[in-house]
C-alpha cells in the first residue's frame, strides 16, 4: 500500500479511553502516512475520563499498537502530555518503547523557523475556575459530544458521511467563539514575545491556522469532534487535514484557505 509521505505530523486530543474517541478514523490516518517526526500533542490517553467512567475499546488499543509500530520503524515520536494525561508529565525526559516524553518541544521547519509545541492547557484561563464550574463544563462537553455521536449515527443510516456537528453547534454560541479567539491571540502573542515564529498546540478541540502579529498560530484539532491532524510537507508548508469518511484539506500555510466546516459567523 502506498503511503503519504510527510516531514512531520502533529495530532492531539485523541482521548483514548473516552467513548467519543474516533479511533477508527485515526487508525486509517496513521496507517496511510509515513513521516520523519510524529508529535503527540497531549490528551492522547484520557486517564481523567477513565478514572470517572472506565471505557476501553479494541480500536483504542489498536491506536496504541500503531503508534508504537511507527516509533519502531524509525520515526521520531514525541509525546507531550496534556491535562487529561497529565500523569505522564512525571516521566518527562524519559523514552518509553521508543517514544520520547517531553513537557514541550521546539520544532524547526525546513526554513529554520522555530515553533513552540505544547498541549496548550497552560494558556487556558479557566484552569483556576471553581471546581463546580469545571465539572459543569465537563458535563456540557459530554452532552455535546454524545449529541454529535447520535446525529452522525443517523447520518450513516442515511448513507451520508461524518460531519463535526458539535463544532458547528459550539461556533454558534458567542461565548465559545470569544473563548477560542481569546485563546488563539494569547498563544500567538506569547510565542512572538518569546522569540518563536509560531506555536503548534491542541487542547481546545478547534483546528485552525492563521498569522497573528507575525506569529503563526496552528491548532491541530482533535479526534473526538473535528477529526483533524496537522502535517508538515517536505517543502516546509503546513496543512490541516480533516480525516473521516471523506478527507479534506482545511487550510495550508501561505494560502487563504478556511477551516471546514464552520458557519460564516465563526
Q: How many residues does the chain have?
A: 266
Indicate if the pLDDT at residue 265 is higher than 90.
no
Peptide bond into 261 cis (omega under 30): yes
Cell numbers linked to 72: 519502531
Could you give the percent of the chain with pLDDT greater than 70? 76
Indicate if the pLDDT at residue 233 is higher than 80.
yes
Mean pLDDT, the chain, rounded, equals 85
Indicate if the pLDDT at residue 264 is higher than 70.
no
The DSSP code sequence of the chain is: ---EEEEEEEE----BTSTT--HHHHHHHHHHEEEEEEEE-S-SB-HHHHHHS----HHHHHHHHHHHHHHHTT-EEEE---STTGGGGGGTT-EETTEEE-S-EEEE-TTS-EEEE--SGGG-GGGGS-HHHHHHHHHHHHHHHHHHHHHHHHHHHTTPPP--HHHHHHTTSHHHHHHHHHHHHHHHHHHHHTT-SEEEE-SSS--EEEEETTEEEEE---TTTT-EEEEE-TTS-EEEEEESSSEEEEEETTS----SS--TT-
Q: Give CA–CA dist 171/178, Å, rounded.
A: 9
- Whether the CB-CB separation of 13 and 22 falls below 8 Å is answered with no
Indicate if the pLDDT at residue 128 is higher than 50.
no
List all residues 6 or more positions away from 99 whose beta carbon is below 8 Å from its beta carbon.
Answer: 40, 67, 68, 71, 77, 78, 79
- pLDDT tens-digit map of 182-206: 999 999 999 999 999 999 999 998 9
Instruction: Specify the pLDDT at position 174.
Output: 72
φ, ψ for residue 16, nearest 5 deg:
-60, 135
Q: pTM for the whole thing?
A: 0.84
Instruction: Specify the pLDDT at position 246.
Output: 81
Instruction: Specify the pLDDT at position 145.
Output: 62
- Whether the CB-CB separation of 229 and 236 falls below 8 Å is answered with no
Q: What is the mean pLDDT of residues 70-92?
A: 96
Q: Which residue has the higher pLDDT, 251 or 218?
A: 218
Q: Return the closest-CA partner of residue 19 out of 121, 153, 137, 132.
A: 153
Cell numbers linked to 247: 478527507
CA torsion 171-239-195-84 (nearest 10°) is 60
Q: What is the mean pLDDT of residues 143-149?
A: 62
Confidence band of 157 (pLDDT split at 50, 70, 90): confident
Instruction: Specify the pLDDT at position 176.
Output: 72
Long-range CB contacts (within 8 A, 24+) of 235-238: 235/110, 236/7, 236/109, 236/110, 236/111, 236/113, 238/209
Confidence band of 263 (pLDDT split at 50, 70, 90): very low
How crowded is the C-beta side of 17, counted as CA atoms within 13 Å?
Answer: 17
Instruction: Specify the pLDDT at position 245.
Output: 82
- pLDDT tens-digit map of 4-14: 999 999 999 99
Instruction: Specify the pLDDT at position 259.
Output: 45
Indicate if the pLDDT at residue 169 is higher than 80.
no
Could you give the percent of the chain with pLDDT greater than 90? 64
Structural domains for the chain: 4-252 (3.60.21.10)
Q: Which residue has the higher pLDDT, 53 or 139?
A: 53
Instruction: Specify the pLDDT at position 261.
Output: 45
Indicate if the pLDDT at residue 253 is higher than 70.
yes
Amino acid at each position: 500500500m502506498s503511503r503519504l509521505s510527510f516531514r512531520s505530523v502533529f495530532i492531539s486530543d485523541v482521548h483514548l479511553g473516552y467513548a467519543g474517541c474516533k479511533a477508527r478514523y485515526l487508525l486509517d490516518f496513521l496507517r496511510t502516512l509515513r513521516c520523519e517526526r510524529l508529535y503527540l500533542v497531549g490528551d492522547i490517553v484520557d486517564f481523567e475520563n477513565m478514572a470517572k467512567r472506565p471505557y476501553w475499546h479494541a480500536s483504542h488499543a489498536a491506536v496504541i499498537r500503531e503508534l508504537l509500530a511507527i516509533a519502531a520503524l524509525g520515526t521520531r515520536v514525541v509525546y507531550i502530555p496534556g491535562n487529561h494525561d497529565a500523569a505522564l508529565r512525571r516521566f518527562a525526559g524519559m523514552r518509553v518503547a521508543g517514544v520520547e516524553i517531553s513537557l514541550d518541544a521546539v520544532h524547526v521547519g525546513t526554513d529554520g523557523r522555530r515553533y513552540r509545541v505544547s498541549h496548550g492547557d497552560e494558556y487556558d484561563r479557566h484552569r483556576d475556575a471553581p471546581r463546580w464550574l469545571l465539572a459543569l463544563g465537563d458535563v456540557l462537553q459530554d452532552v455535546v459530544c454524545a449529541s454529535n455521536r447520535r446525529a452522525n449515527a443517523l447520518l450513516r443510516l442515511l448513507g451520508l458521511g461524518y460531519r463535526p456537528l458539535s463544532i458547528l453547534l459550539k461556533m454558534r454560541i458567542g461565548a465559545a467563539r470569544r473563548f477560542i479567539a481569546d485563546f488563539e491571540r494569547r498563544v500567538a502573542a506569547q510565542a512572538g514575545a518569546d522569540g518563536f515564529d509560531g506555536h503548534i498546540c491542541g487542547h481546545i478541540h478547534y483546528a485552525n491556522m492563521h498569522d497573528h502579529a507575525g506569529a503563526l498560530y496552528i491548532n491541530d484539532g482533535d479526534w473526538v469532534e473535528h477529526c483533524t491532524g496537522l502535517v508538515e510537507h517536505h517543502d516546509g508548508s503546513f496543512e490541516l487535514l480533516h480525516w473521516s469518511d471523506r478527507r479534506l484539506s482545511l487550510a495550508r500555510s501561505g494560502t487563504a484557505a478556511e477551516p471546514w466546516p464552520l458557519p460564516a459567523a465563526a
